[in-house]
Amino acid sequence: MPALSTIMHADEPQGLVEDSANGCAPDGPSVCLLDDDPSMLKALGRLLTCEGFNVEKFNHPLAFLSAVGDTPCRVAILDVFMPDMNGLEVQEALRQESPDTRIIFVSGRDDPSVRQAALEAGAYGFLSKPFDDENLVQLVRKAVAA
């Protein structure tokens, strides 16, 4: 699959982000996306929805964490660097609220110390942006099956 290339305007409200699936009919496991970059949220949402996953998208860490109790996530895909909380802090809070959720990090900065900290804290995977779509899809499928 090609790399992500969808563009979205940055005027989305903070919180849960709604988007159409462009004809895809998801009926698979739930995946939650958390990224403050609207274009990344939109592109990942469409990719995973078209791969059959039920996707919930959030553009702010606090909105994501407040919804976790009501939004079951088999897999959570988290950005690392976001406003108010970083992905490692979100990971720690998510472990308390939903310990069975598999966490995959995606980051535009490949900092080895952050990668190591995330994996040592129980992250299922860590991908550096840009990444190949198929690598993410396969990692999500493995996380769902784990």
pLDDT digits (tens, 9 = 90+) for 73-90: 999 999 999 989 999 999
pLDDT band at 60 (very low <50, low <70, confident <90, very high): very high
Is 61 among the domain residues? yes
State the CATH number of the domain containing residue 118. Answer: 3.40.50.2300
Is 11 among the domain residues? no
Is 70 among the domain residues? yes
Is 13 among the domain residues? no
Is 5 among the domain residues? no
- The pLDDT assigned to 119 comes to 97
* Number of folded domains that form the chain: 1
Q: What is the mean pLDDT of the chain?
A: 86
CA distance 129 to 120: 20
Asked whether the predicted pLDDT for residue 104 surpasses 60, the reply is yes
Sign of torsion, CA 117 120 122 124? positive
Beta bridge partners of residue 30, listed in sequence order: 54
Is 98 among the domain residues? yes
- In eight-state DSSP terms, residue 130 is S
Q: Which ranges of the chain would DSSP assign to H, the alpha helix?
A: 38-50, 61-67, 87-97, 112-120, 133-145
Quote the pTM value: 0.84
Is 31 among the domain residues? no
- Residue-number span of the structural domain to which 67 is assigned: 37-145
Strand pairing class (30-34; 75-79) = parallel
pLDDT single digits (tens) 6-38: 333 333 445 544 555 456 766 789 999 999 999
Sign of torsion, CA 46 48 51 52? negative
Is 121 among the domain residues? yes
